[in-house]
A and B are shown apart, each in its own frame.
Chain A
Amino acid sequence: MNKIIKNEMKLEFLSKSNNESFARIAVACFASQIDPTIEEVADIKTSVSEAVTNAIIHAYPNGEGIVKVVAKLYEDEIEIEISDTGIGISDIEEAKEPLYTTKSGLERSGMGFTIMESFMDSLKVESIVGLGTKISMRKKIKNKEVSLSSSTYEIK
């Protein structure tokens, strides 16, 4: 099935922690074009925050690198890709386990992937050690009744 892209955006920024709020707010604002509910926006914000934070704290242990965010809007769905060119993940299944973290000293909880999985409809993790990691997430936007019913209102 080929779905029509309504809009697309791309962001690139340095892996600095003060970009965490910038990235999730930018994606949330962009997503508002397809009328998500407040709950859907909250889920998207949390998931973007998790993936971007991972790229910032795990991908580049020896300095700074670039974090890339791409968001695509469809009629009833948002697709988000967050990628880095950092150290990569050797065992993806293990990394996705709840409570698994390699940075317990930083007070990481190991719940990032678990949150992304439960807040989004799908999550794909691709990673090559030494080359980087790409997270792809999708979420259906169900808040279509409002626009449908308003367009079928009788004009008096």
Chain B
Amino acid sequence: MNVKHYVEDKVIVFEITEDLDHHVTEKIRRRADYEIQRFMPKRVILDFNRVVFMDSAGIGLVIGRYKTTCCYGGKLEIANVSTKLRRIFEMSGILKIIPIISSDKEAVNE
């Protein structure tokens, strides 16, 4: 996972670079929560551009980061969600509360 901080805008982008299953999400959640607690960002973006495979562990990961982000006063968004991943997110109903954005580039001025 690559972590990008945009200090002025108080934005953190987590670019996930692995297949997302239960084994992998355990590591990612620890790192992500550590960063969120440390920076207390206004916005957290989970970027799925490089995620080829995901099972229901991905849903748990997003809901969990939604909770941590809200806890520290921020807003969570997910980016670059393929149709395959979208189908899995849709089943869980989380898209009603978590917005999908098309690219982290458009969201953050680099």
Contacts and interface: CB of A to CB of B under 8 A. Distances in A.
**Chain B interface secondary structure, helix, strand, loop or mixed?**
helix
B56 A56 contact: no
Interface in B48-62: 53-57, 59-61
Given A17-B22, A21-B23, A112 B56 contact: yes
Contacts of B60: 106-109
Nearest to A47: B55
A17 B26 contact: yes
Contacts of B25: 107
A26 interface: no
Contacts of B54: 46
Given A45-B53, A107-B61, A112-B56, A53 B21 contact: yes
A56 B22 contact: yes
Interface stretch (B36-44, B72-80, B84-92, B101-109): B84-92
B55 A49 contact: yes
Interface in A52-78: 53, 56-57
Interface string A21-45: 1001000000000000000001001
A57 B23 CA distance: 10
Interface of A: 17-18, 20-21, 24, 42, 45-46, 49-50, 53, 56-57, 98-99, 106-109, 111-112, 114-115, 118
7 residue pairs, one from A and one from B, having the closest CB atoms: A107-B60, A17-B23, A109-B59, A49-B55, A111-B56, A107-B64, A109-B60
